[in-house]
């Protein structure tokens, strides 16, 4: 969230027609967001092979992994897998992991995403499901309550509180039942390869750093061009003053000659 005092810069390519007029702005190639004096730079990089990537100065992707434990100070009380159901007695797939925690403990969104389900969901009790991109979803069950204002379609950031630990639905005591769903199927949150930061290495990193150098040089040149323009306008005023004008107005009111 932005709270004022931040600086946001974008550099983009523009297309010019034969007369040199800009006809279209396109392709953002660089952005910089300065918050609290710290600049977070993001380079839009299209590698020789593969999709467009959004990388920081060091060639690291900014997509963060899903959290394995979306709750603080909790202990793992039941793992993913087949087990004897404590209430029903028969063997059943436990499709998530359980974290025992005090009632009211905040539950966090495991990653950036959109809420696709929120409300009472049978044996899950108070339940939230969040979609993170096209492959992964996470689900949180047995909550005592949801964070106020959340609804289907709400955007959440990793670490945002979405609700609080409870024992709603079919539950033996206060805990979070947490599921990671990959392409529609529950998988073991502790075992799967979670979406990780995409960091460039080796030759790929070298190619990116060369690209970055070019972008930085163009950005610096752009800054100098703006500076020259500013100095140019100052000089125009000075030359006006020398000719008896200041800011386009004659300094001597009796002088009726036009200023430019």
The dihedrals phi and psi of 159, each to the nearest 5 degrees, come to 90, -10
Nearer of residues 96 and 113 to Zn ion, judged by Cβ: 96
Distance of closest approach, residue 112 Cβ to Zn ion, in angstroms: 24
| Minimal distance, residue 188 CB to Zn ion, in Å | 12
Name the residue nearer to Zn ion (CB basis): 129 or 211: 129
What is residue 199's DSSP assignment? B
Judge contact between 52 and 66, C-beta under 8 A.
no
Strand ranges (DSSP E) for 166-207? Answer: 175-182, 185-187
Tokens read off for 99: 């974290």
Nearer to Zn ion, 59 or 96 (CB): 96
For the CB of residue 1, give the shortest distance to Zn ion in the complex, in Å. Answer: 33
Residue whose CB is less far from Zn ion, 55 or 74? 74
- Residue ranges binding Zn ion (CB under 5 A): 96, 98, 177
Q: By the 8 A CB rule, do 173 and 43 touch?
A: no
Give CA torsion, residues 87, 91, 97, 102, to 10 deg: 10
Residue 6 φ/ψ, nearest 5 degrees: -90, 155
What residues are paired with 97 via a beta bridge? 178
Minimum distance of Zn ion from residue 128's CB (angstroms)? 15
Give one word for 139, left, alpha or beta, with left for phi > 0 and alpha for psi -120 to 50: beta
**In the bound complex, what is the minimum distance in angstroms from residue 202's beta carbon to Zn ion?**
42
CB nearer to Zn ion: pick between 126 and 177: 177
From the number of C-beta atoms within 10 Å of its C-beta (0-12, 13-18, 19+), residue 99 rates as buried
- Closest CB to Zn ion among residues 50, 173: 173
Report the alpha-carbon distance of residue 13 to residue 133 in Å, rounded. 28
Nearer to Zn ion, 98 or 137 (CB): 98
For residue 74, the minimal CB distance to Zn ion (Å) is 13
Closest approach, Cβ 196 to Zn ion, in A, equals 25
Q: Which residues, in sequence order, are CB contacts of 136 under 8 Å at separation 6+?
A: 66, 111, 180, 181, 182, 194, 195
């Amino acid at each position: 969230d932005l709270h004022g005092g931040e600086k946001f810069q974008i550099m983009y390519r523009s297309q010019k027609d034969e007369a040199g007029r800009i006809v279209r702005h396109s392709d953002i190639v660089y952005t910089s967001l300065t918050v609290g004096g710290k600049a977070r730079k993001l380079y839009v990089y299209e590698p020789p092979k593969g999709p467009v990537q959004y990388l920081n100065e060091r060639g690291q992707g900014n997509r963060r992994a899903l959290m394995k434990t979306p709750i603080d100070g909790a202990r793992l009380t039941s793992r993913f897998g087949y087990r004897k159901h404590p209430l029903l007695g028969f063997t059943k797939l436990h499709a998530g992991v359980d974290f025992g925690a005090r009632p009211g403990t905040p539950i966090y969104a495991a990653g950036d995403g959109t809420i696709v389900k929120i409300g009472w969901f049978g044996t899950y009790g108070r339940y939230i499901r969040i979609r993170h991109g096209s492959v992964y979803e996470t689900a949180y069950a047995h909550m005592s309550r949801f964070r106020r204002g959340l609804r289907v379609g709400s955007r959440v950031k990793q670490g945002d509180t979405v609700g609080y630990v409870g024992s709603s639905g079919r539950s033996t005591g206060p805990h979070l039942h947490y599921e990671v769903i990959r392409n529609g199927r529950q998988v073991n949150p502790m075992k799967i390869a979670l979406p990780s930061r995409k960091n460039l290495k080796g030759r790929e990193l070298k190619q990116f750093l060369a690209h970055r150098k070019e972008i930085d040089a163009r950005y610096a040149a752009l800054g100098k061009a703006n500076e020259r323009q500013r100095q140019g306008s100052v000089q125009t005023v000075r030359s006006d003053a020398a000719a008896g004008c200041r800011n386009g107005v004659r300094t001597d009111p009796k002088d009726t000659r036009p200023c430019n």
